[in-house]
Amino acid sequence: MEVYVIGEKKDFTKEQIRRLEEIGTLNFIEEKHDMYNSEYVKSNETKIIAVNPDFTDWKFPNDLIEKIPNLKGICLMSTSYSYIDLEFCSKRNIIVTNVPKYSTDSVAEYACFLMMSIARKVPLQIKNDLREDFSNTYLQMQVKRKKAAIVGLGSIGTRIAEILDGIGMDVIYWSRKSRNDKFEYKELSEIFKTADFIFPAFSVNEETKKIITDQLINLMKSTSSIISIIGTDIFNTDLIFDKIKNNELYGFAFEKSNSNLNNYEGNVMVTSPYAWYTKEALENCIEIWVQSIEGLNMGRIVNQVKQ
């Protein structure tokens, strides 16, 4: 058996490397490369390929997979698997695994940080060069006893709810399937009418992108905010920005690569996509990745993704 790790060796502990070496011949490919002329294409040995998608530009196309002989499985170092054609792999008996739930705590904590930034009008303070100004423009909000709504009560949504409940907020939620008796379930229209902070926390796909409609956003109070750690493809951001400019919403926080706080008017907090990026989450990710590779080798498959 051969194991090709497309990723940096320094990310692994000595113990994890030892475990991978027990599987068979271990090869690290630590930079972007010509995938179509790589060693894993040339070798006829049975192999597992472990992919850090940052080293493949979040691509692993079918024509490449077809060229790799005796490929037993592809172990992804990501929760997302949208860059792999699962049906194509399934037809060729190629197992695909991912790394689920490795950053739940980190992402949930970041969502709460974004909420606090909006409540305390940190974007406005920064754009005012942190000068003191005790006018109504900079009058802030205490979050205790405010109503927080989670839209999608998966692992991250549940952890956000637990943190907010712990600091004294009134937590409600809507979820298509998940239920939790600790928190109060509400219909979406009620959530958008009454919540002070709304946290979308569902998995994003073509179906769920339709959940948060303009009609729901228009139900929100002028003192309400949206805190998104799942991107901005899930709602009409132009509508949200217009409402903030017109003082019809309190604030909006989200992540976006290569963005700038000064590009947005009003109480809008934008950061690079750092929610998952903690030492603890990275260590957890690598360990789950190694376990997926080991399981695939031993026939005790964990974290397999299916159609």
pLDDT tens digits for 55-68?
999 999 999 999 99
Looking at residue 75, its pLDDT comes to 98
Same domain, 114 and 141: yes
In 98-130, which positions are buried (b, 16+ CB within 10 angstroms) versus exposed (e)?
bbbbbbbbbbbbbbbbbbbbbbbbbbbbebeee
The verdict on residue 303 lying in a domain is: no
Looking at residue 134, its pLDDT comes to 97
The verdict on residue 305 lying in a domain is: no
Measured CA to CA, the distance from residue 230 to residue 199 in angstroms comes to: 9
Report the predicted TM-score, pTM, of the whole model to 2 decimal places. 0.88
Cα–Cα distances (Å) from 246 to 48, 125, 250, in that order, read 55, 19, 10
Same domain, 215 and 238: yes
Same domain, 122 and 163: yes
Whichever domain contains 190, its CATH number is 3.40.50.720
Q: What is the mean pLDDT of residues 188-201?
A: 98
The verdict on residue 64 lying in a domain is: yes
Residue found by looking up tokens 């472990």 in the block: 50
Looking at residue 203, its pLDDT comes to 87
Same domain, 174 and 233: yes
Q: 23 burial class (0-12, 13-18, 19+ CB within 10 angstroms)? A: middle
Q: Can you read off the two tokens belonging to residue 133? A: 């100004």
Q: What is the 3-state secondary structure (H, E, C) of the chain?
A: CEEEEECCHHHCCHHHHHHHHCCCEEEEECCCCCHHHCHHHHCCCCEEEEECHHHCCCCCCHHHHHHCCCEEEEEECCCCCCCCCHHHHHHCCCEEECCCCCCHHHHHHHHHHHHHHHHCCHHHHHHCCCCCCCCHHHCCCCCCCCEEEEECCCHHHHHHHHHHHHCCCEEEEECCCCCCCCCEECCHHHHHHHCCEEEECCCCCCCHHHCCCHHHHCCCCCCCEEECCCCCCCCCHHHHHHHHHCCCCCEEEEECCCCCHHHCCCCEEEECCCCCCCHHHHHHHHHHHHHHHHHHHHCCCCCECCC
Q: What is the mean pLDDT of residues 46-59?
A: 96
The model's pLDDT over 91-142, given as tens digits with 9 standing for 90+, comes to 999 999 999 999 999 999 999 999 999 999 999 999 999 999 999 999 999 9
Same domain, 238 and 125: yes
Same domain, 293 and 242: no
The verdict on residue 57 lying in a domain is: yes
For the cut 80, the answer to whether the pLDDT of residue 307 exceeds it is no
Q: Can you read off the two tokens belonging to residue 243? A: 């409402």
Looking at residue 204, its pLDDT comes to 85
Same domain, 109 and 92: no
- Of 68-72, 170-174, 207-211, minimum mean pLDDT range: 207-211
- Of 25-29, 81-85, 193-197, minimum mean pLDDT range: 81-85
Looking at residue 240, its pLDDT comes to 98
CB 153 within 8 Å of CB 160: no
Report the percentage of the chain scoring pLDDT > 70.
100
The verdict on residue 307 lying in a domain is: no
The model's pLDDT over 128-182, given as tens digits with 9 standing for 90+, comes to 999 999 999 999 999 999 999 999 999 999 999 999 999 999 999 999 988 999 9
- At position 60, the amino acid (one-letter code) is F
Q: Can you read off the two tokens belonging to residue 84? A: 């792999």
Same domain, 115 and 257: yes
Q: State the total domains in the chain.
A: 2
For the cut 80, the answer to whether the pLDDT of residue 8 exceeds it is yes
Measured CA to CA, the distance from residue 24 to residue 3 in angstroms comes to: 7
Same domain, 95 and 181: no
Same domain, 154 and 263: yes
Query: Can you give the residue range of the structural domain that contains 53?
Result: 2-102+279-298
Same domain, 142 and 59: no
Same domain, 238 and 139: yes
